[in-house]
Amino acid sequence: MPSVSTGSINLSVKNASEFVNTVKSGARILSFYLGSIDSSTIPSDSESRRNKVYEEASFFKKIEKSEVDLVTKKISFGSTAYQTWNSYTDTLNNFYITVNNNVYLVIGNSTFNTTQENEKIIATTTPTHTSGIQKYSDGYEYLYLYTLPATSRITTTNNLWMSVPDLDLSQYKGKLLYKKIDINSISDVSISYKNPEIPILSDTGSGAKIKLLTQVISSPDVTISNKKYKIIGIEVTNIGTTGYRDFDLLSSLTATLGRETSANINRIYNAISIGFSSNKQFDMRNLLQAKYALITLVANSSDISSVIEQTSFNSFGIVEDITDESNVKIFTESSPTKIISNNVKITTGAYLLGSAPTASEFEIKTAITLQNKSKYQKGKVASQRFSGGGSLIAEIEVSDKNSYEVGDTIKTAKSDNVFLINSVTKPTTKPFSGNVLHISNANFTLGTDSTKTFVAQVIEKF
């Protein structure tokens, strides 16, 4: 049986970016709905719920481009130990931070960058720089990446996610950003150089340098030329002037530490880990593993009341490319249409010599059955109000929006009275059109609050 690989972060980022970019360009139009007069115990991700979207949806509203963003998990700066960015692992976590809307890549997490102190030093100094690389007094070193837009809805309302711009980090491609040294493995090695700076040799890049941090171990009486030093750390003094695609650390050490034995140089070589960023693909979204699309859904009371009278909702979802009966997309980039009803609205009154409808007979959630047709579907009352002259206007939640016609007779589960339908307003949406991307349960009621707004943020992982 062939092996199966599931670790494809770059593909996930690519797919997430393409999804967001098609929305931003207008090539993909999303809409969302609120609906369901009653709560459901059927799981949101089930096929049954997907089949009920057209029935449950009370209205569809276009999702604006500005409400769709590529995001990654937000890691707020605090008193904790962070990882450093590492070009050798596929399990990076906790390796970037946000503070005061600035986003930083952690490239150093201790004063001496030793493996012994890795992820053990608590960050205490808040980074403040807004360009380049800076090391702070607690030993942490940060590369400034970008600043989050202060007025963005994501920035102001979300503590879990942050937007990631489509930016290429060209100035940091092929640059030396990772360094660690295992000082325990060379604790008995001494060298005759104080803090030697070592240019990193390469066939492609140039300018990168590391410095071995040392501590003198010789007697104060020993002459400078004969002093011995213990290696206690490593730092990068130059990330490189041109991008690296290869490097030879052993030759670099040998070229600089000419007075040391080959055995000692090899031990130092084996204790050091340095890593360069990709010379080909080093961009913000791949760097921060931005494989999520955040979609913000917003509908205020004015939006909702402009198309329906229903005020209580128990589900919401996202649908792409809903159409009318002629297979024409209802929402387009240039279309003025922003929101449409998906409820059936009827006006009903007394049938023959029967009684007029009452509010209790058309109580919200009450089942409605047709009397003059063989229909097994039952509708539910989603809203009701009197319109004068013994007539009652009701919005009906039902799967088959064409069930009701003028002249039909109906009964409710509250009485044996029969009522006549005098008028019908049907939605223009084609049944079951569009692709359902998301369904969730909701608990939203407008009531008498004319300023209430429904807001939900949906994360789609790629």
262-271 vs 249-256: helix crossing angle, rounded to 10: 130
Q: What pLDDT shows up at residue 5?
A: 37
- Cα–Cα nearest to 227, from 196, 267, 181, 268: 196
CB atoms inside a 10 Å sphere around CB 337 = 13
Residue with tokens 């609205």: 345
Q: Counting Cβ atoms within 10 Å, is residue 15 exposed (0-12), middle (13-18) or buried (19+)?
A: middle
Q: What is the pLDDT along the chain (462 residues), one digit of tens a residue?
A: 444 333 456 789 999 999 999 999 999 999 999 999 999 999 988 999 999 999 999 999 999 999 999 999 999 999 999 999 998 887 888 999 999 999 999 999 999 999 999 999 999 999 999 999 999 999 999 999 999 988 777 777 778 999 999 999 999 999 999 999 999 999 999 999 999 999 999 999 999 999 999 999 998 888 888 899 999 999 999 999 999 999 999 999 999 999 999 999 999 999 999 999 998 888 999 999 999 999 999 999 999 999 999 999 999 999 999 999 999 999 999 888 999 999 999 999 999 999 999 999 999 999 999 999 887 778 999 999 998 889 999 999 999 999 999 999 999 999 999 999 999 999 999 999 999 999 999 999 987 766 799 999 999 999
CA distance 298 to 31: 11
- For residue 8 the two structure tokens come to 């494809």
In one-letter notation, the amino acid at residue 287 is L
- For residue 316 the two structure tokens come to 């919401």
Q: What pLDDT shows up at residue 243?
A: 96
For the chain, domains (ranges, CATH) are 9-69+293-341+431-461 (2.60.340), 75-157 (no CATH), 176-276 (no CATH), 344-425 (2.40.30)
In one-letter notation, the amino acid at residue 433 is S
Contact yes or no for 312/364 (Cβ under 8 A): yes
Runs of H (alpha helix) within 209-347: 249-256, 262-271, 284-287, 301-305
pTM score, two decimals? 0.86
DSSP letter, residue 65: G
The Cα-based distances of 110 to 121, 133, 212, 231 in angstroms read 6, 15, 15, 15
SS3 state of residue 287 = helix
CA distance 315 to 436: 13
Phi and psi angles of residue 40, each rounded to the nearest 5 degrees, phi first? -125, 145
Phi and psi angles of residue 140, each rounded to the nearest 5 degrees, phi first? -80, 140
SS3 state of residue 281 = coil
Own/partner pairs, 278-283, CB within 8 angstroms, 24+ separation: 278/87, 278/173, 278/174, 279/173, 279/174, 279/204, 279/205, 279/243, 279/244, 279/245, 280/173, 281/10, 282/168, 282/169, 282/170, 282/172, 282/173, 282/174, 283/166, 283/167, 283/168, 283/169
Q: What pLDDT shows up at residue 110?
A: 97
